[in-house]
């Protein structure tokens, strides 16, 4: 059920139709187009000004390197020692499916912004979020493994416009994380981590710039890497 995620990880930086595939995926799962995913073309103020506002979530695709893995381990140990006050409103799930980071990033972005987003009455995505909202992060992951609707949508969306799908066993070294605003705090949600990461205070007006600042830190850890992509979930201005 992780075919779409492999497509996202392998092709987002190079495939011209990948964003439309992402939009199609959430549309097929019943999310209305009042908010839509769109590319962030650069981190400079003039390029950020092109992103429709407001923005309620950011997805970052980045390379998983030895430097990142070392930092991740240090960060986890530090936060376990000092603790964090995680909001009970935070929707967080673990990743137990290989290469499923794209789907989990999407769920994190959508589930933590239900007050903004609109869904079709029969939305399978909305139903999934409602059914899992009270579950533990681990229970949510198990539930996703068994969700037939999302699996079928994965496959049909990933195959759209593709001449050949990559093997499900193919090793992918790119990873998605989501950034959201929960109660005025900027959260990083990554299913590979044991818990959400709170970075700093934020607001609806400053969220995009605040989240981009954290993305810059990701990039600074591996300055030689160029495979970074940012996608914003923004209010549709059409």
- Which residues are the active-site residues? 101, 175
Residue 117 buriedness (CB in 10 A; 0-12 / 13-18 / 19+): buried
- Cis (ω within 30 of 0) for the bond into 229? no
Strand intervals (E) in the chain: 35-40, 55-63, 174-182, 185-189, 197-201, 229-235
Q: Which of 231, 180, 173 is nearest to 10 (CA)?
A: 173
Cα 126 from Cα 147, distance rounded (Å): 13
Query: Do 131 and 32 form a contact (C-beta atoms < 8 A)?
Result: no
Scan for tokens 């239900």, then name that residue.
114
Q: Which of 142, 180, 103, 141 is nearest to 189 (CA)?
A: 180
3-state secondary structure of 211: helix
Cα 67 from Cα 55, distance rounded (Å): 30
């Amino acid at each position: 059920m992780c075919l779409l995620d492999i497509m996202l990880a392998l092709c987002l930086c190079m495939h011209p139709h990948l964003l439309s595939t992402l939009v199609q995926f959430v549309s097929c799962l019943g999310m209305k187009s009042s908010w839509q995913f769109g590319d962030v073309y650069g981190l400079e103020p003039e390029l950020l000004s092109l992103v429709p506002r407001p923005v309620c979530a950011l997805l970052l695709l980045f390379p998983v390197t030895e430097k990142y893995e070392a930092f991740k381990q240090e960060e986890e140990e530090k936060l376990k020692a000092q603790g964090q006050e995680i909001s009970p409103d935070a929707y967080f799930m673990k990743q137990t499916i290989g290469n499923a980071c794209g789907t989990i990033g999407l769920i994190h972005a959508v589930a933590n912004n239900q007050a903004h987003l609109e869904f079709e009455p029969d939305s399978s995505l909305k139903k999934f979020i409602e059914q899992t909202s009270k579950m533990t992060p681990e229970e949510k992951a198990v539930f996703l493994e068994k969700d037939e609707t999302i699996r079928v949508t994965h496959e049909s969306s990933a195959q759209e416009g593709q001449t050949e799908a990559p093997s499900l066993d193919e090793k992918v070294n790119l990873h998605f994380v989501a950034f959201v605003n929960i109660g005025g705090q900027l959260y990083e949600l990554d299913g590979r981590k044991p818990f959400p990461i709170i970075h700093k205070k934020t607001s609806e007006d400053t969220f995009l710039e605040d989240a981009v600042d954290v993305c810059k830190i990701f990039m600074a850890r591996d300055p030689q890497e160029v495979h970074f992509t940012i996608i914003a979930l923004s209010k549709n201005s059409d």
